[in-house]
């Protein structure tokens, strides 16, 4: 670099010290900023994206599976009542078409 164009090389030593101190301070600040941790807002933004994906793509499938499982559970219970409890009721009271003392529980 041409020494005639550089204002720091041709200036007095005190000015050189001030300029160098300023440059060191700026460099230290930029390095400190680069090594700082993440803010709470940045962390929340990083956590939001997978949450949106889960809510929009996976959530409806999970809810549909829950609905289907309720239907399947009801079918299994009805099958058990028809194949196990009702024949037992018919054996205990064969003359009645709708037995009053059937062991089928109506509670949940």
The span from the CA of 34 to the CA of 46, in Å, is: 18
Residue-wise pLDDT tens digits, 29-83: 887 776 677 788 888 888 898 888 888 888 899 999 999 999 999 999 888 888 8
Note the pLDDT of residue 17.
84
Q: If you ran DSSP here, which 8-state letter would residue 104 be given?
A: -
- Name the pLDDT band for 20 (thresholds 50, 70, 90): confident
Is residue 98 scored above 60 in pLDDT? no
CA distance 26 to 33: 11
pTM confidence score: 0.38
Return d(Cα 89, Cα 108) in angstroms, integer: 20
DSSP for residue 96: -
Task: Please state, in angstroms and rounded to a whole number, the distance separating the CA atoms of residues 30 and 24.
Answer: 10
pLDDT at residue 42, as a whole number: 86
Determine phi and psi for 87, rounding to 5 degrees: -60, -35
Q: State the Cα–Cα distance between residues 99 and 88, nearest whole angstrom.
A: 11
């Amino acid at each position: 670099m041409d020494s005639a164009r550089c204002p720091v090389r041709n200036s007095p030593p005190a000015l050189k010290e001030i300029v160098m101190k300023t440059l060191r301070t700026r460099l230290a600040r930029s390095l400190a900023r680069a090594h700082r941790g993440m803010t709470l807002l940045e962390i929340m933004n990083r956590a939001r994206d997978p949450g949106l994906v889960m809510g929009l793509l996976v959530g409806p499938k999970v809810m549909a599976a829950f609905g289907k499982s309720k239907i399947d559970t009801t079918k299994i219970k009805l099958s058990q009542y028809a194949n196990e409890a009702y024949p037992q009721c018919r054996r205990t009271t064969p003359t009645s078409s709708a037995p009053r003392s059937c062991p089928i529980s109506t509670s949940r």
